[in-house]
Structure 1
Amino acid sequence: MSQPSKKQPILPFWQVWNVSFGFLGVQFGFALQNANVSRVLSDLGADLHSLSLFWLAAPIMGLLVQPIVGAASDKTWNRFGRRRPYILGGAIAAAAGMLLMPNAPLFVAFLAPMIFGGMMLALMDGAFNVTMQPFRALVADMVPSEQRTLGYSIQSLLINIGAVFGSILPFLLTNVIGLENTANVGQVAPSVTWAFYLGATILFGTVLWTVLRTKEYPPEEYNAYKGLDADTLAKANAPKSIGKKLAEFWQLFINMPKTMRQLALVQFFSWFALFIMWVYTTPAITQYVWGIEAKWFDPTYLQSLESIPADIAAAKGAAGDWVGILFAGYSLFAAIFSVLLTKLSMTFGRKPVYAVSLLAGGLGYISFLLFQNPELTHVNLFITEVDVPKGAVGLLLPMIGVGMAWAAILAMPYAILSDTLPADKTGVYMGIFNFTIAAPQIISGLFAGWILHNVFANEAIYILMLAGGAMIAGAVSVVFVKEDN
């Protein structure tokens, strides 16, 4: 492999911004999914035990999609670019899934709405992964090493801006526009349906901005910046049999950089905790703060009734909307913290900042137990005013720690990892690194529902305590990561 003949240029701030701008829309859609899919699937007939099993579609799609897309985008050079074709194609598929999912009841003649909803979750998450992986590789391609932390911090900032508005959108549509936020079993609330429509539009528009405003380096220029030899690459990328490709992939996997192996343990605990939060926050606060018994999440019991009592439906709708506020809160705190990450990392080092952030997230989950007060209080959110339990308002405080953890999880492992990866294998290794995101979610999905049912008697608040312990274990694991200097 030849030595670099050209120094990769420092990019203007707004060019770094444009490289990641589409991630705002992708995360807008991802936040809508995270804050509302458990609510949608429950309304369509899923029980608490099976919720985590439906959510398995998300990490499984990531596990399958990201390495394939990463390897393919490493070898794609055409007039549309290297990463951009995958980014745009994934956005189109994700938008389609977002338009279809809330319309699951319309397809009841072909499939049970709950099953159709699960299929659309798989489509959305698979498409999100097609888009996300090339976005992360695009930063590594376009941004020189000395701007790498800045690049991923901007990406984290945009992700969290998108997440704030994606999480809060159903609440806004109910409390500002006036759309109904309650639903009968087998139906989706109108506020959630329209939120998905708007999310699909924003996702596609922001991705299109990045695709049109980012000009990827041509192969010759890229190879010169990265110190790659074109003839060696041509031989490596020559057509091969499926068996040969699998053998080469396995060799890449077992010979992954040591730093990636060490980060995998941190990722396991971090994403195990995040999966639990996304799946079970809605039932947890509905039960713990709004005082709704676990039986009201049992579809067998609900089917035995002629209709859901108005006060129960209203409480479940209000709690579901408030989860959007909480998720917007942690995303807002994460966006603010993302701005500080580069400076803090330069001052104290990446590892200490990473560890403290995860510790703050773990303590945030555990502190949910402190906020149960059911007494109603009037809250002015500037855009609207609502009456909610005092405990629900107090839950905004733990979101500060959760936001710090989320910002660090989105930026720090990639900033640490990217300097250890060979430039000609960045995409495939970023895809392999997604195993460390998908695997803990799959394990969480397989066992969290069983633990909730058999250990915690369907009291969902306690599964969040398990998430807190896992996040603290992730903070401890950062100690064992050795950075490549």
Structure 2
Amino acid sequence: MNKKPRLSFLQIWNMSFGFLGIQMGFALQNANTSRIFETLGADTENLAVYWLAAPITGLIMQPIIGYYSDRTWSPKWGRRRPYFAFGAIAATIALFLMPNSHTLWMAVGVLWIMDASINVTMEPFRAFVGDLLPDEQRTSGFAMQSFFIGIGALVASFMPWIFTNWFNIPNTDPDGGIPPSVKYAFYVGGIMYLITVLWTVFTTKEYPPEEDEHHDVPAMDASEEGTYVAKFNRVGLILLSIGIAFSLFVYFMEIDVKLHILGGGFAFFGLIHLLGSRLVHVKKTSTALVHIVKDFNSMPNTMIQLAVVQFFSWFALFSMWIFCTPAVTSHIYGTTDTASAAYNEGANMVSNLFGGYNGIAAIAAIFIPLIARKTSRKMTHLIALCCGGIGLISIYFISEPQMLWLSMIGVGIAWASILSVPYAILSGALPSDKMGYYMGVFNFFVVIPQIVAASLLGFILNTFLGGQTVLILVVGGVSMILSGFLTLRVKDTQ
């Protein structure tokens, strides 16, 4: 493999600039989706289930987009940039539709479209760093993405507050609908999403495929066929059995029916493996699904070790994103009435807090490469995640809204590291011709914890935590600290 040339600061800036708009869309989704769902009549207990549209979409889209972007090449448009452009157009349309949803199920459907579009754009951006930067610049490349993510989310999260306090646009709707301030925030976010992504598309050139990259899909020989038929069958039957057994347990024990989602997830992956086995058995070994399943079962060890770290850190993040609004409005503002001024003040506060931790992340992203060079990437990630975990746990002990800003400092430091360090470690362990696919598969371990959170947190909330949503944030904090210590097990081949 040829040594990639070092890129200038401006080149790294241009290739990362699209993340500014991507994160504006992502932040508007994270900070306001629960608010929109509750305004349209969603029960707090079911919020996590309505959010499932996003992770299920990601679980399907990410490896497919990664797989095909690895095999895309146009002398004019490159490898990843066609996906950037298409995803940006679709996401912009969804951002305009979301605040104009008239029913809960319309909002859930638009969330599905929005998340799919963001995934089409975002996953090739992760592979972009591995494609264009030499290993010694990859931590800086992912940190630059973290910087733009922080800035984009900071601006987007504050936009409802800005429209209300600077432009006197109402923060409540007299008919009990979605406030005008939220609608204007989504409109601006959609426009910025399109502009910033297209900036990267038109200012960044990609390298043509290297001679040693194999983007064709070779058929298996006879000995491989037998091996993979057996392996796919074994893994598929294990996953399918776990899914069925778990769902039967939920049914006969008469516990929360939403837990069937988790059982269904295991069963789905089991069926995918069995389908892959069947395709190999009938000699259709060059199909994309067979190679997607094959590569999934051949992940590098570093990726498997990082997957465990990702699971617990993203479980913590989804706990915060899903339940921070009801936790803050009930625990600190003392209300669950979504039409009340206190609730909307608290919801705006959460949006501002989300902007605040992203602002902290933008600053922390500048220092992460420096700290990693002085210590190690693993130690840097451990320290950052412990800061985030302590920040989430501290919310339980806070009674004054302004003190929440201290909690968000820790969360912001963790967020900057989560968005950069694992990807920098991973990119050095991946083959260049499968960079996009494995970056997509790596996001399984972002999506799976969200599915687990959506399936379990409502059950945990009502069964063990007495309906106190703030305790979900404490659970998230413990999970984040655990993920920090698990980082020490990862083999970093820097």
Residues 217 and 286 of structure 2 are in contact (CA less than 8 Å); yes or no, is this contact kept in structure 1? no
Residues 45 and 186 of structure 1 are in contact (CA less than 8 Å); yes or no, is this contact kept in structure 2? no
RMSD: 1.7
Q: Which ranges of structure 2 fall in alignment gaps of 5 or more residues?
A: 221-282
Out of 459, 467, 471, the residue aligned to residue 468 of structure 2 is: 459
Amino acid at match of 2:43: D
- Shift of residue 469, structure 1, vs aligned partner: 1.0
Counterpart CA distance in 2 for 1:52 and 1:414 is 27
Residue correspondence of structure 1 range 232-311 to structure 2 within 5 A: 232-234=214-216, 236=218, 241=284, 244-292=287-335, 294=336, 296=337, 308=339
- Shift of residue 185, structure 1, vs aligned partner: 7.4
- Shift of residue 11, structure 1, vs aligned partner: 0.7
Counterpart CA distance in 1 for 2:173 and 2:81 is 39
Cα distance change, pair 243–446 in 1 and its aligned pair in 2 (3 A):
farther
Which whole-Å deviations, capped at 9, do the CAs of 1:346-402 have from their partners, x for residues lacking one?
001000110111111111001002211xxxxxxxxxxxxxxxxxx111000010110
* SS in structure 2 at match of 1:425: helix
Cross-structure match for 2:29: 33
Out of 343, 359, 364, the residue aligned to residue 332 of structure 1 is: 359
Q: Does 1:397 align with 2:436?
A: no
Residue correspondence of structure 1 range 153-302 to structure 2 within 5 A: 153-183=143-173, 187-219=177-209, 223=210, 228-229=211-212, 232-234=214-216, 236=218, 241=284, 244-292=287-335, 294=336, 296=337
Counterpart CA distance in 2 for 1:413 and 1:425 is 17
- Shift of residue 459, structure 1, vs aligned partner: 1.9
Which whole-Å deviations, capped at 9, do the CAs of 1:87-121 have from their partners, x for residues lacking one?
1111111111110111112xxxxxxx000000111
Residue correspondence of structure 1 range 107-146 to structure 2 within 5 A: 113-146=103-136
Give me the identity figure in percent: 46
Counterpart CA distance in 1 for 2:56 and 2:341 is 34
- Shift of residue 419, structure 1, vs aligned partner: 0.3
Which whole-Å deviations, capped at 9, do the CAs of 1:430-473 have from their partners, x for residues lacking one?
11111111001100011112222332233211111111111111
TM-score with structure 2 length normalisation?
A: 0.85
Counterpart CA distance in 2 for 1:41 and 1:468 is 25
Cα distance change, pair 353–450 in 1 and its aligned pair in 2 (3 A):
same
Cα distance change, pair 185–125 in 1 and its aligned pair in 2 (3 A):
farther
Cross-structure match for 1:301: none
Q: Does 1:43 align with 2:33?
A: no
Out of 450, 457, 464, the residue aligned to residue 448 of structure 1 is: 457
With 337-346 and 184-193 compared, the bigger mean Cα shift is at: 184-193
Q: Does 1:60 align with 2:43?
A: no
Residues 43 and 184 of structure 1 are in contact (CA less than 8 Å); yes or no, is this contact kept in structure 2? no
Cross-structure match for 1:81: 78
Cross-structure match for 2:343: 316
TM-score with structure 1 length normalisation?
A: 0.86
- Shift of residue 139, structure 1, vs aligned partner: 1.2
Cα distance change, pair 279–185 in 1 and its aligned pair in 2 (3 A):
farther
Residues 48 and 458 of structure 1 are in contact (CA less than 8 Å); yes or no, is this contact kept in structure 2? no
- Shift of residue 237, structure 1, vs aligned partner: 9.8
* SS in structure 1 at match of 2:7: coil
Counterpart CA distance in 1 for 2:195 and 2:453 is 33
* SS in structure 2 at match of 1:82: coil
Residues 22 and 210 of structure 1 are in contact (CA less than 8 Å); yes or no, is this contact kept in structure 2? yes
* SS in structure 2 at match of 1:395: helix
Q: Which ranges of structure 1 fall in alignment gaps of 5 or more residues?
A: 106-112, 298-307, 373-390
Counterpart CA distance in 2 for 1:237 and 1:212 is 37
Counterpart CA distance in 1 for 2:136 and 2:218 is 28
* SS in structure 2 at match of 1:453: helix
Q: How many residues align?
A: 431
Q: Does 1:14 align with 2:57?
A: no
Counterpart CA distance in 2 for 1:44 and 1:116 is 10
Residues 152 and 415 of structure 1 are in contact (CA less than 8 Å); yes or no, is this contact kept in structure 2? yes
- Shift of residue 236, structure 1, vs aligned partner: 4.1
- Shift of residue 80, structure 1, vs aligned partner: 1.4
Cross-structure match for 1:375: none
Counterpart CA distance in 2 for 1:459 and 1:233 is 51
Cα distance change, pair 429–185 in 1 and its aligned pair in 2 (3 A):
farther
Cross-structure match for 1:434: 443
Residues 45 and 185 of structure 1 are in contact (CA less than 8 Å); yes or no, is this contact kept in structure 2? no
- Shift of residue 129, structure 1, vs aligned partner: 0.7
